[in-house]
Chains A and B, each alone.
Chain A
């Protein structure tokens, strides 16, 4: 680890500065969406379809309207009169706001009640009569693409089947050639199941549209307030200067709070029509059944390998279950997100990936749940495949990886799918993790245990992520380039305010971004206020998801701070009567080269910026930067999990979990480690229990926290964290994104560990979640 260059009282990069956001949160003074209580607020509740697929023949809302306290029942027909019954998705499809023709999944929005009280709004839902004509539901993508399957999107012009999209990348010819040269082809077919981010705070909105001035102040649980403002302007036709999105304290996002959901559109329209603020906060069930599912990829991967364990090529065929609308939150040019990183951490020349997505009668979503757009699925597949190949070739899974790693001197490294990895030292990372866990000893213990009938498994995952979208030449969402911004103003007393286009949901931006400024200018981090989330008061940016805040917004912050440092040096030269080029800045002190006793502080310079300037210089110490990253950043890690599997029950317990992460330069090690522990827990959750599934009628099983299991402190394993620090060569402070690494990398490590415990029986795959009954059945079948 690189030692900090600033003293602790300044708190620049590398210091575990305590978080500034904690003070309000530990005293119950946070300001979450549901805490916002404007005068005359009305409350909205949404009527949802109980059926997965049905035609709507009529809606009778008379009895609901008659209930005391009900102001309006909004239906699809009413929305249609304002051109708002449908809305565009982030993947170029359209999605029903309120159903007009058919319902296409259980939980779909059918009508909304606006009432004076949330209890009354919910009561009124029960008084709405909907005449449904049931249609047969399609609940798997395989069924959906069968010849003659009923058309789910019959309203969509030109749509004659249930295909949502197709996507292909890599070089098919070169890949076929690699497979022709291989000694063997190793195949793995597995399902990355439907999951849900389930942040502890659900999604919500308070829409406050002033019918006289046209000013729309929209409080929203938004990970991307600026992008949402522009989308609101485009979709609802409101003048953008009259829209102010305020994203308050957010109780976790994990991708769930990136899309615009139907409830937001209805609440805003209702506020516009009624002229009072309208609040809608999802219940947990609404959250789990209708907003923001993730994953659901059926993947077949094949590796071409030699008998020496060299990988020659990779072939992938995938089918994704999109639900009723194709609404993946991802950059325009990326139909399956950044699945390109499926080549992983390995050096081989050929890959070809074929993917298609199908509509089904399930909720739409396709959000990047704590990952950079489908990168979790990609990372999972290659790490499972490499382990499978090791068993087939007959070499140790660690050795298999070491034989195929991209070597440190090969960076920057262009993969077979055209991504250019920036930096890394993979062999050191894996060997360090192996030393920590005592890998060789564990293999001996495993063999001894087997002889006694006990099942020990050791699972490895060495992942590489691609985060920090992204360079404007390639990355946009709805046409908006994925740049981000920072605006920095130093006040006359030397204190500062930093305004960001990105938005924290718990990541600690108010602390870490201040540390970047502290590092550059030497203003103590605690003297820097960080503002974000309010579009009227922050510069434009695409928001926080896909681990892009530090790679893009953090870079903007460093660059704007350097602009102010340059101006500050000129002011210091003026104050010290020295030449500009002789001024050196370290930890907030400007001194003359060779005469360290001649110095002024950043606080002196800040005052001079408003009082005593060199001739011709503009007053003030303030600037803004819009940062267009030259490349993504590529954090990586080596994770090793040890499990013991009970052969009689299939229950598995994590004995150890060693996680080495390299995210380049760590701004605040305490916060980085906190994010890694959280991410590992979500990775464990996906491998062990989190699962949104459906019965054959399309009923969602997993509609509350009793059926959709997220880990408590009791199940959550303990983690041993390690770090290496290879900086990103192109990022201004050498940092890479980290918030999602552990969620991306760890599921394969947990599953590989369970498989490793039973691999000698011939077991090669158990789909996630690796439930005890599945493990037991796999053992039973193998023996």
Chain B
């Protein structure tokens, strides 16, 4: 079947099997491999992308369901003026080790701070509770998301 999905601002019209998962479509058809697969049960969040601004687990969404929507993957976080604040904060606060969960974590974090400019520790932990990390113990991920929120708030206050 024909699907038309805008991924990171570019339109991708493709003929896919109806059963094709969105994550496989992004990785194999479109060739963007920053979105990862870590489980089969929608438990780990490594495949998280933003669909029309909302985080979804792309292993449990059919490409067909995303027809007509706007999808943002980790490759789309960086803007014309450089890294998204969530990306630089993850480096600055050592929010990643192996980096496998990082794309999903950053997309959830970016979505959170777009809605909540000053999230508490608990609010961040709740927001990322659908995303597993086996390396960091989450402490620096929470810190990075809060740092990114503070930097966004600071730059919008300044402008």
Show the binding face of A for B, using Cβ within 8 Å: 18-19, 21-23, 25-30, 32, 34-35, 37, 119, 197-202, 249-252, 254, 283-285, 505-508, 670-671, 674-675, 677-682, 704-706, 710, 712-714, 716, 718-719
Contacts and interface: CB of A to CB of B under 8 A. Distances in A.
B5 interface: no
B129 interface: yes
B83 interface: yes
B91 interface: yes
A119 B29 CA distance: 14
A200 B98 contact: yes
Given A27-B87, A200-B44, A677-B140, A714 B98 contact: no
Given A26-B106, A251-B100, A198 B33 contact: no
Contacts of A35: 27, 33
Given A199-B98, A251-B98, A706 B43 contact: yes
Interface stretch (B34-42, B63-71, B112-120, B151-159): B34-42
A505 B135 CA distance: 10
7 contacts: A19-B91, A26-B90, A27-B34, A28-B33, A28-B34, A201-B38, A284-B44
B142 A713 contact: yes
A30 B140 contact: no
B41 A34 contact: no
A713 B129 contact: yes
Nearest to B19: A119
A251 B99 contact: yes
Given A252-B100, A674-B97, A714 B136 contact: no
A28 B44 contact: no
A251 B38 CA distance: 9
A37 B75 CA distance: 18
Interface in B18-77: 19-20, 27-28, 31-41, 43-44, 46, 73-75, 77
Main secondary structure of the interface of A (DSSP, over half): loop
B99 A25 contact: yes
Contact of A25 (B37, B41, B102, B134): B102
Contact of A710 (B31, B99, B132, B136): B132
B73 A681 contact: no
A178 to B, nearest CB: 40
Contact of B98 (A197, A506, A704): A506
Interface residues of B, number: 57
Given A18-B92, A200-B100, A252-B134, 18 more contacts: A26-B74, A26-B90, A26-B91, A27-B87, A28-B34, A28-B74, A32-B36, A200-B46, A251-B38, A251-B98, A670-B94, A674-B135, A674-B140, A677-B140, A704-B41, A706-B41, A713-B131, A714-B125
Nearest to A673: B94
Given A119-B17, A200-B133, A284 B141 contact: no
A507 B132 contact: no
Main secondary structure of the interface of B (DSSP, over half): loop
A515 to B, nearest CB: 15
B91 A285 contact: no
A249 B102 CA distance: 13
B132 A680 contact: no
Contact of A251 (B20, B36, B91, B139): B36
Interface of B: 17, 19-20, 27-28, 31-41, 43-44, 46, 73-75, 77-78, 83, 87, 90-92, 94, 96-103, 106, 124-126, 128-142
Contacts of A716: 125, 137-138
Contacts, number: 167
Contacts of A202: 38
Max chain B C-beta neighbours (<10 A), residue from A30, A200, A251, A674? A200
Given A200-B132, A677-B137, A27 B78 contact: yes
A180 B121 CA distance: 55
Contact of A26 (B17, B102, B133): B102
Contacts of B31: 37
Max chain B C-beta neighbours (<10 A), residue from A26, A34, A675? A26
A704 B43 CA distance: 9
B91 A18 contact: yes
Contacts of A284: 38-41, 44
A289 to B, nearest CB: 12
A251 B47 CA distance: 13
A716 B142 CA distance: 12
Given A26-B90, A26-B106, A505-B98, A712 B37 contact: no
B99 A21 contact: yes
B90 A22 contact: yes
Contacts of B41: 284, 704-706
Given A713-B124, A713-B125, A714-B125, A704 B140 contact: no
Contacts of A254: 134
Nearest to A507: B97
A22 B144 CA distance: 13
Max chain B C-beta neighbours (<10 A), residue from A505, A508, A678? A678
Contacts of B32: 28
Contacts of B97: 252, 506-508, 674-675, 678
B96 A25 contact: yes
B75 A27 contact: yes
Contacts of A29: 34
Contacts of A250: 98
A563 B135 CA distance: 35
B91 A34 contact: no
Nearest to B122: A714
Nearest to B84: A26
Max chain A C-beta neighbours (<10 A), residue from B46, B98, B129? B98
